[in-house]
Amino acid sequence: MSQSGKGRLNYRCPSCFMRDLDIDMFYDKDRDEYYCLRCQYTGNEKDVLEKNEMARFRYRNMLKRITTFD
Ligand SMILES: [Zn+2]
């Protein structure tokens, strides 16, 4: 079912995304983890997905807060 080698999907690094950087992570199949070359973030798929959700949520709130100025 699951292929080894490259990650099934390209995941964006949640840590970089918080800083407004859109960085694709690499997949380490030996450790079954994704990692980011830019900020040293590592995490398994579940962790990445959770953090990405959080990042999106926060980011949206930030945008929302900015729009309330007017
Ligand atoms: Zn990163």
Task: With a cut of 60, say whether residue 3 has pLDDT above it.
Answer: no
Domain boundaries, the chain: 14-67
The pLDDT of residue 2 is 44
Task: With a cut of 60, say whether residue 1 has pLDDT above it.
Answer: no
- pLDDT (tens digit, 9 = 90+) per residue, 7-40? 456 899 999 998 889 999 999 999 999 999 999 9
The pLDDT of residue 32 is 94
DSSP per-residue letters across 12-66 = BPHHHHHTT---BPEEETTTTEEE-TTT--EE-HHHHHHHHHHHHHHHHHHHHHH
Q: For residue 17, how far is its CA from the centre of ligand 1 (angstroms)?
A: 7
The pLDDT of residue 57 is 82
Q: For residue 70, how far is its CA from the centre of ligand 1 (angstroms)?
A: 33
More confident of the two residues 52 and 5: 52
